[in-house]
Structure 1
Amino acid sequence: MEHLSDSQIARQLRISAWLVFSPFTLLCYEYLITLDDEIARYWSAGRSWGSALFFLNRYVALLGSVPVVVEFMLASMNADARRKQLCSAFQSYHSYFALFSQVLVCVIIVTRTYALYGRNRIALTAMVTVVGALVTLAIVILVRGGDDGALSRNLLAIGCPSATSHPQSIRTAIAWSGMLIFDCMIFFMTLWKAVRFSFRGRENSGTLLHVLVRDGSMYFGLMAIANAVNIGTYTMGGPIMSGAVTTGVNILSSVLVSRLMLNIRDPRLPFRSSGSRGGARDLSSTSTHAGAATRTALRGSLSMNMETDIALDSVWVGDGAPADSGADPYVEEYELVEAGLPTNMLRR
């Protein structure tokens, strides 16, 4: 039977709360300092799968984390029956919210990597298979529920957050291991593209492809480390500290994905194409002023500077369009290939 003294319980509850409040504060700060970029790069842009996923990731993390914060504000070592019932509901919400958040991030990353690999169906199949397997595993573990029989009486008396038995912690760690495998898989896929990109002597730091590779490598490297730490808390953290950094991992993944998606809409980012199968072209954003842009549809596929194509079906060129024309200032390849849809279906 797992047992902790009252002083140990009190100390670990404080640490657990700190590991939730601190990431949430970081999330709010990140939202405020990037709100101007969000308004400039997404609010005025046309509707697309990319913008829908961006807003989902951004606001699900921000608003969905509030009940988790409330859960840890209700921490109690001697909860009555009513509070324990309330805390149990919060705990269930926390588990399913963590799963939904990670699935949402996986969807965004799959579309991004699919674009990076030039709509390669083999790469897409591999990623979807891994995501499907880890989601299935996580759902099975969540539905199976926990086992409180191995906890001492003072641990069972805790309200929020509820103590977790070691067998349940191990099962949850197995579920998170699937996410770690996915992160490592995408990290090495992105790293492989970075190496090929470097070997081909194309190191222009201003291209969209460079941004995708740079941000992707950083993101998956950090997330692999964060998930490894999270798994460690489940296996070695004990009944209270088990999964204590889960909220931090969810927030970190959301923040990094938001940054990645904001960066690929940076108006300072030139659109270049060289070394394509159909010859070399160099396209750059000729205007980033509000309203001074008009869409020019380019039929056919232009490619970025890599061995595989990232289709560029639409770019912006300045022609003195009126400021109230409602035109977006730019568009990038990522959104145009994310679902494999033709340009006229993605943007009107």
Structure 2
Amino acid sequence: MKEVDSTLGHELFIANCLVFVPLVILFYEYIATFEREVRVYWPPRNPLGWVSCVFLVNRYLSLLGHIPILYSVFGNMSYEFCANLFIYHSYYEIALQLFVGALCMMRIYALYNKNRWILAFLVGISILSVGVAVWSIVTSTGGGPHVITTVPLFVGCNQLMPDDNARHLAIAWSGVLVFDSAVFGLTAYRTTRIGRGKLTSILLRDGALYFVVLFCTNLGNILTLLLAPEVLRTGSTTMTNVISASLITRIMLNIREAGPPGRSTRPTTDEPFSYDTPDGTSIAPLSTIVHGMVSAPLYPAQRSRASKAPRVSSTNYTYDPENGIEMVPLHNADEIEVK
């Protein structure tokens, strides 16, 4: 009996660490990026739009929504509290993943110049993933996690995940893998079509890192549900939620901060920006194309008629700071004008 209690105690300690460590990362990430968030997202310095609102909701939903989960790690909780906490955690996970997915879809939607077919494709994958998740949970026959209350020395809400529940949850989380794979594929395809430039590098770099890290995290979560002992199966989902929320926050901050040199980080208007330098020019990357009042020409509005230099054929793209990365193709340099 002592050996069983010792093994169970060791597993419960690991399970609590799987919950506590991600929450430490979450609060550290919030403190580390708070100054950047205020600078590029908070009103009145920055206009509020759909992207900003979804970003801020996701930001504080991930922060405040984990407080009850952090509280559940400490102290002796009643059976009713732990049972209600499990229900809360299940719905909270769905809500958080929906907001993370919404930010990903907005980013891809803007990257593809607001192409409705791309949006419909991503929405279709999301609906399919949610449908599979709901089906897998509803058809589960395990009765949900069982709360451990027999050993008073074990603190926190400790749960045992039956095999049937674990298998169905693994199926539910596999839909997230499919969605992340689609997002990465669309990001990689579009950025390779855009060409070189700082924004392109940021999109490809952040998209690749987001996909690799989150893919490994989700895969680890699925393997934990399928292979780990019953006590450890419920702990990995917290890590997955924290990593996904933190990564999408970093991506949105990096995109919003990818402004041209010398530009204030205060986006008072939806000014478009070009992030790709035409080949054969000496203009630095991230030069600004402002539709409005400017102090000096940035790109020449018209080439000299006497110039025999070849026409620039590279494609330039504009950037909408509110939507994140709205790209509008300009097929040659002559189409660019400063109004």
Q: TM-score, normalised by structure 2?
A: 0.74
Quick one: which amino acid aligns to residue 232 of structure 1?
L
Match of 2:92 in 1: 97
Match of 1:117 in 2: 112
Residue 203 (1) aligns with residue 196 (2):
yes
Q: CA offsets, 1:178-236, max 9 Å, x none? A: 01111112122222234444xxxx332x2x34322221221122111110000000101
Deviation at 1:84, TM superposition (A): 1.2
Deviation at 1:146, TM superposition (A): 5.5
Deviation at 1:337, TM superposition (A): 5.0
- For 2:142 and 2:264, the matched residues in 1 are separated by 58
Q: CA offsets, 1:298-323, max 9 Å, x none? A: 7xxx87659xxxxx99768667xxxx
Deviation at 1:144, TM superposition (A): 5.0
CA contact (8 A) 1:233 1:242 kept: yes
Match of 2:41 in 1: 42
Match of 2:205 in 1: 214
- For 1:305 and 1:103, the matched residues in 2 are separated by 32
Q: How many residues align?
A: 286
Deviation at 1:237, TM superposition (A): 1.1
Deviation larger for 119-128 or 86-95: 119-128
Runs of at least 5 residues in structure 1 that lack an aligned partner in the other structure: 271-284, 307-311, 320-329, 339-348
| Identity among equivalent pairs (%) | 30
Trace 1:241-252 onto structure 2 (pairs within 5 A): 241-252=232-243
Quick one: which amino acid aligns to residue 107 of structure 2?
R
Match of 1:287 in 2: 263
Q: From 158, 170, 173, give the equivalent of 1:173.
A: 170
- For 2:37 and 2:228, the matched residues in 1 are separated by 38
Give the superposed CA RMSD. 3.3
Q: From 161, 173, 183, give the equivalent of 1:186.
A: 183
> Using a 3 Å threshold, how does the CA distance of structure 1 residues 131 and 85 change in structure 2: closer, same or farther?
same
Deviation larger for 119-128 or 221-230: 119-128
> Using a 3 Å threshold, how does the CA distance of structure 1 residues 33 and 190 change in structure 2: closer, same or farther?
same
Deviation at 1:142, TM superposition (A): 4.0
> Using a 3 Å threshold, how does the CA distance of structure 1 residues 96 and 315 change in structure 2: closer, same or farther?
farther
> Using a 3 Å threshold, how does the CA distance of structure 1 residues 113 and 289 change in structure 2: closer, same or farther?
closer
Match of 1:240 in 2: 231
Quick one: which amino acid aligns to residue 173 of structure 1?
A
- For 2:112 and 2:82, the matched residues in 1 are separated by 44
- For 2:128 and 2:6, the matched residues in 1 are separated by 41
> Using a 3 Å threshold, how does the CA distance of structure 1 residues 287 and 163 change in structure 2: closer, same or farther?
same
> Using a 3 Å threshold, how does the CA distance of structure 1 residues 304 and 69 change in structure 2: closer, same or farther?
same
CA contact (8 A) 1:316 1:331 kept: no
- For 1:9 and 1:211, the matched residues in 2 are separated by 46
SS at match of 1:203: coil
> Using a 3 Å threshold, how does the CA distance of structure 1 residues 150 and 265 change in structure 2: closer, same or farther?
closer
Deviation larger for 188-197 or 18-27: 188-197
Quick one: which amino acid aligns to residue 196 of structure 2?
E
SS at match of 1:70: helix
> Using a 3 Å threshold, how does the CA distance of structure 1 residues 148 and 297 change in structure 2: closer, same or farther?
closer
- For 2:49 and 2:230, the matched residues in 1 are separated by 44
Match of 1:71 in 2: 72
Quick one: which amino acid aligns to residue 113 of structure 1?
I
Quick one: which amino acid aligns to residue 164 of structure 1?
M
CA contact (8 A) 1:147 1:165 kept: yes
- For 2:171 and 2:112, the matched residues in 1 are separated by 29
Residue 136 (1) aligns with residue 136 (2):
no
> Using a 3 Å threshold, how does the CA distance of structure 1 residues 297 and 51 change in structure 2: closer, same or farther?
closer
- For 2:223 and 2:148, the matched residues in 1 are separated by 21
> Using a 3 Å threshold, how does the CA distance of structure 1 residues 88 and 146 change in structure 2: closer, same or farther?
farther
> Using a 3 Å threshold, how does the CA distance of structure 1 residues 289 and 34 change in structure 2: closer, same or farther?
closer
Bigger CA radius of gyration = 2
Match of 2:82 in 1: 87
